[in-house]
Structure 1
Amino acid sequence: MPAYRLLKGLLLVVSAGLCLVAGCAVAQQWDDAALILRDTSGEIVRTYTRQQLRKEFTPRERNTDTPWSAGVTVGFRGPFLKDILARNSIVGGSFEIGAANNFVAKISSSEIERYAPILATEKKCTDEDRQSGACSPSQTYRLLSIDDGGPLYLIWPLHDLPPRYLPSRNAIWVWFVVSVRALS
């Protein structure tokens, strides 16, 4: 548990720092982490909180295995990445998806168009979640936690990806997403 608290604290500091860079008026709380969108020149086009992503975009549901779920299908919900990019007129031949730990994945625009990854903000509640109190008995989804790869996690349809993607392209499953930058 101490490692979890350390990572949560680090991500809170990173989110607050990103908020200052992006010109936010108030330091952000952990539950309101930021996503920064940048154009090909590196200029900030828009910053979204997780709450804004949930309110301003159509939530898409994706039930899929992940490379780390050991064959267990997990339910996620969030907007299509391509919808976020389109609404903000962000175009590029490829994109860098940045994580809070400075990890960066390069993803082509054709991959985004063809496989329609979602930027998950929520995870489907399980019986274990209901037993632990993380979800109420009638709740369907809950916000992603650090343990889930949240607060923002780029989710792909695993079984639609070409077999050559595993494990060579596992890096496209970016968790702790904090930025998207268009490349030429």
Structure 2
Amino acid sequence: MALKLLITAAAFISLAAAPTMALDAPKGEVILTIKGSDLANPNAGETAQFDLAMLEALAGRSGKMETPWTKGEIEFSGPFLRTVLEAAGAKGTTLNVKALNDYVAVVPMEDAATIDTILATRMNGELMSIRDKGPLFLIYPFDTDSSLYNEKYFSRSVWQIKEIEVTQ
């Protein structure tokens, strides 16, 4: 237990202590806005905005998995949530992940720091439309960690994401 707490604390500190770097302004349509009182790399006033090209340029992963919202095994791909937050210079303890319909899920920053969560931009290699849960879908790595396949993480798996607010 102590080792897990140490790893969790180290991951949180490394995410919070990400080096400051300039974040370019989006050239295409903004599909994600990150806001919070302590963003180190805003590119639009006090927010960090991302277009699809910016998000897909960040480190991420793809994984084939079953989810409660899809039929059969589906491949999801996109940037790691932590790399998106690092690009924005986000610091905090809680993420309020907001969908296009204003649904909000509260996600601990620890999920971004210690779990390979992704902001999926693609499903089976195709861009995700709003009709298909896009443009962004918070996906937990159900394919590599079956212990995540439960209601706790299902409730945090927001689709049609438009905004993430980082709070202390």
TM-score w.r.t. length of structure 1: 0.65
User: How far off is 1:169 after superposition?
Assistant: 3.7
Query: 1:52 and 1:169 mapped to 2: Cα distance?
Result: 26
Gaps of 5+ in 2: 1-24, 40-44
User: How far off is 1:41 after superposition?
Assistant: 6.2
- 1:25-174 matched pairs, under 5 angstroms: 32-40=29-37, 44-54=46-56, 56-69=57-70, 72-124=72-124, 141-158=125-142, 160=145, 162=147, 166-174=150-158
Query: 1:67 and 1:173 mapped to 2: Cα distance?
Result: 10
1:37 and 1:44 in contact (8 A); partners too: no
Query: How many aligned residue pairs are there?
Result: 138
Q: Which amino acid aligns with 1:53?
A: L
Q: Which amino acid aligns with 1:44?
A: E
User: How far off is 1:59 after superposition?
Assistant: 4.2
1:36 and 1:44 in contact (8 A); partners too: no
Match of 1:182 in 2: 166
Q: Who wins on radius of gyration, i.e. which is larger? A: 1
Query: 1:50 and 1:172 mapped to 2: Cα distance?
Result: 22
Structure 1 runs (4+) deviating above 4 angstroms are none
Flag the structure with higher helix content: 1
User: How far off is 1:87 after superposition?
Assistant: 1.8
Aligned-residue identity in percent: 25
User: How far off is 1:86 after superposition?
Assistant: 1.0
Cα gap change, 1:25 to 1:110, in 2 (>3 Å): closer
Q: Which amino acid aligns with 2:79?
A: P
Q: Which amino acid aligns with 1:162?
A: S
Q: Which amino acid aligns with 1:100?
A: L
User: How far off is 1:182 after superposition?
Assistant: 0.8
Cα gap change, 1:87 to 1:161, in 2 (>3 Å): farther
1:80 and 1:119 in contact (8 A); partners too: yes
Cα gap change, 1:161 to 1:180, in 2 (>3 Å): farther
2:26 and 2:50 in contact (8 A); partners too: no
Q: Which amino acid aligns with 2:158?
A: V
CA deviation vs aligned residue, 1:40-89 (integer Å, no higher than 9, x gap): 369733111123212x313421222212235x221011100100111221
- RMSD over aligned CA atoms reads 2.6
1:62 and 1:76 in contact (8 A); partners too: yes
Query: 1:115 and 1:167 mapped to 2: Cα distance?
Result: 16
User: How far off is 1:162 after superposition?
Assistant: 3.2
